[in-house]
Amino acid sequence: MSIKERILKERCKFAVFVSKDYFKFNAAHFIAYKGYRERLHGHNYRVDLKIWGDRGHDGYVVDFGKMKAVIRQLCKEINEHVIIPAKSDVLLIEEEGDNITIKTEDNSFFSFPQQDCKLLPIIHSSAEELAQYILLKTIDQFSEDYLINNRGVT
């Protein structure tokens, strides 16, 4: 049996890369961990997603319309905010009236309008933890049965 025949006969895993110009956001942040704190600064972030899975009866790995809408909304929610890692083990984060205050290990103090902040359930505001947050929030919008049993997403 040729490789082409085997691919057509057997269930194969497909990798699909999703990227859109609007999968982006701008945000301020600083990394802090025991003994270290960066200065407050900002980045222009871009989100891309690669999914491996089985092609379904409809010819798709997943519903990309829904996937794109979810990622677009997540980027919109974070855009032009100060990212606050709510699970930080070195920052004292408090809500005081309409502000979020942050005291750091080196006794620096920040106060931001609450509406300008995005508290995320992460420990550090690194690109890696932001990527994981976006991935997990995207997965939350699909059932496990759909992703794993129906689509074989890995």
Is 111 strand, coil or helix? strand
Q: Of 35-39, 117-121, 147-151, which range is least confident? A: 147-151
What Cα–Cα distance (Å) separates residue 114 from each residue in 31, 82, 96?
A: 19, 9, 9
- Is the per-residue pLDDT at 67 higher than 70? yes
Predicted confidence at residue 6, as pLDDT, reads 61
Q: When comparing pLDDT for 125 and 20, which is higher?
A: 125
Tokens 């359930």 sit on residue: 121
The predicted model scores a pTM of 0.84
Q: What does the pLDDT look like over 98-139, one tens digit per residue?
A: 999 999 999 999 999 999 999 999 999 999 999 999 988 988
